Amino acid sequence: MKKIKYAHAPVLMLVLLMAFAGCKKDEVKDQEAANPIYPRIFDNLRVFGSNQIIDEGTSASFTGVLFTPAKKVKISWQVNGKEMSSDESFKFTPTAGGEYTIKLVATYNGDSTSRQTKVLVNPSTYTFKPYTKVALANLTEDGTAADVVWSNITHLEYQVGKVAADGTLDVSKGNVNQHAKEIVARAHIAGVPVLMGISGHLSGIDGWAIYESNDFGTAIRNPTSMKLLIDSVKAYVASKKMDGVDIYMTDINSGNAPDNIHAIGPFLAALKAALPAAAIVTVTASVNYQHWEYPDLSKADWVNIHAFEDNIHIGPDAPVGQSSSYDFMVSGAQIWTNFHLPASKLVIGIPAFGLRYNSLNAAGNNESWGSYDYMTYKAIVAADPANAGKEKADIAKGVYYNGVPLVTQKTSFIKAGGYKGAYLWAADYDATGANSLMAVIYNGLK
């Protein structure tokens, strides 16, 4: 029987060392090549989670970003494709307004990964683009900057301020996803002034008077609540860097309507005195019989005339038809030139929505107060692009609206009549491209 010989520990270690010595010096490198480590970026603070909106002169900071393999990756911070830093963190301080792409690239062993975001910068100084006629887009409180084609407008009104009877101002819709900041930044980059639209409670898509609504009127009839409202408007305009205000007071469908309308005069004077001298202050007014109640509005930069919705095609047994006709717009505009202000002080309204009938009676007329509603122009065109060339579409029991031909005709009248311009209610109801009513207005007024 053989004896088993055991090597002493020093001998065993020597054998192991000789074995390792026989390995290639770049074994670790070979293993890494066979199982490559891919670079990774960990955005623990979510600095790339959403786009940022800042004012020129302030900074956007990108910190708390981690990398693997730690301390081995090559870091590249890029602004609009140009490398600006190789540090682990980055502070972007723009010197001009605009939209910037911030990109972080991490590279290791020839492999790269990246993160990217946008920074929108509201310029500290800007020049409004020249114009001969006002092409004003109204944006409802639910509209966003994505609803506006800046090249098709000269001014924007954003309906962001809701007035309560006690004079308090609700601007919460503008704070959602920084809508107000983005709208102002993009407008100023495009050379477009932004007006803060202030109103009471409005009806649905048509955005007009509600029966027995008196919130705005009540607020401006009382000196204390009027001052509170003016202070709030002034502060908001300054904080958001807006360029003026439109007094969109629609409390004209109640027993207090005359007093509400009369109060616009003192409110207009006090608001203009509170705002910077260069601020634009306008008023939106009606064309119905209550036009007689309006005070002298000549101190406004201009008056927006709600020259659509004749109200004779709604209600029980009302005849179906076009409620925002060419003739109704012309008569409404002429009421104001005949009795109130020169055409050069008036911006005439055009609708981007239609009156839809859902049920008719045996005579073929509208059935009841609940048998009609409204439909946005973009929804009408989405149903059939050919509808852009019409003013009646076979949707439900028929929808009547202003298509491209009718808006072209209206715009020609406004330009030929020497009016200050036209506005569209509303930009977020409009279609895009060749079917855009705002494009028709802008190009027709040039």
Domain extent listing, the chain: 40-122, 134-445
Query: In this predicted structure, what is the pLDDT of residue 36?
Result: 76
CA nearest neighbour of 118 among 98, 147, 144, 91: 98
CA quadruple 43, 45, 46, 52: dihedral, nearest 10:
-130
Asked if 105 contacts 86 with a C-beta cutoff of 8 angstroms, the reply is no
Query: In this predicted structure, what is the pLDDT of residue 29?
Result: 56
* 261/250 Cα distance (integer angstroms): 9
Asked if 346 contacts 329 with a C-beta cutoff of 8 angstroms, the reply is no
Pairing of strands 60-62, 90-92: antiparallel
Architecture of domain 134-445: Alpha-Beta Barrel (3.20)
Residue 127 is encoded by which pair of tokens?
């020049």
CA nearest neighbour of 369 among 359, 377, 378, 379: 359
User: What string of pLDDT tens digits covers the 446 residues of the chain?
Assistant: 444 444 454 544 444 444 444 445 555 455 455 667 999 999 999 999 999 999 999 999 999 999 999 999 999 999 999 999 999 999 999 999 999 999 999 999 999 999 999 999 999 999 999 999 999 999 999 999 999 999 999 999 999 999 999 999 999 999 999 999 999 999 999 999 999 999 999 998 999 999 999 999 999 999 999 999 999 999 999 999 999 999 999 999 999 999 999 999 999 999 999 999 999 999 999 999 999 999 999 999 999 999 999 999 999 999 999 999 999 999 999 999 999 999 999 999 999 999 999 999 999 999 999 999 999 999 999 999 999 999 999 999 999 999 999 999 999 999 999 999 999 999 999 999 999 999 999 999 99
pTM of the model: 0.89
User: Tokens 């800007």 appear where?
Assistant: 126
Edge to edge, the sheet with strand 392-393 lists 372-376, 353-357, 399-400, 392-393
* 81/53 Cα distance (integer angstroms): 19
Helices 404-416 & 326-339, crossing angle to 10 degrees?
20
Asked if 185 contacts 121 with a C-beta cutoff of 8 angstroms, the reply is yes
* 266/283 Cα distance (integer angstroms): 13
Helices 437-445 & 404-416, crossing angle to 10 degrees?
30
Residues near 263 by beta carbon (within 8 Å), at least 6 away in sequence: 217, 220, 221, 226
Residue 341 is encoded by which pair of tokens?
């202000």
Residues near 312 by beta carbon (within 8 Å), at least 6 away in sequence: 318, 319, 323
Question: For residues 209-234, b (16+ Cβ closer than 10 Å) or e, as one string?
Answer: bbeebbbbbbbbbbeebbebbbebbb
| CATH (one of 1.10.10.1100, 2.60.40.10, 3.40.630.30, 3.40.50.300) for 40-122 | 2.60.40.10
DSSP state of 220: H
Query: In this predicted structure, what is the pLDDT of residue 32?
Result: 53
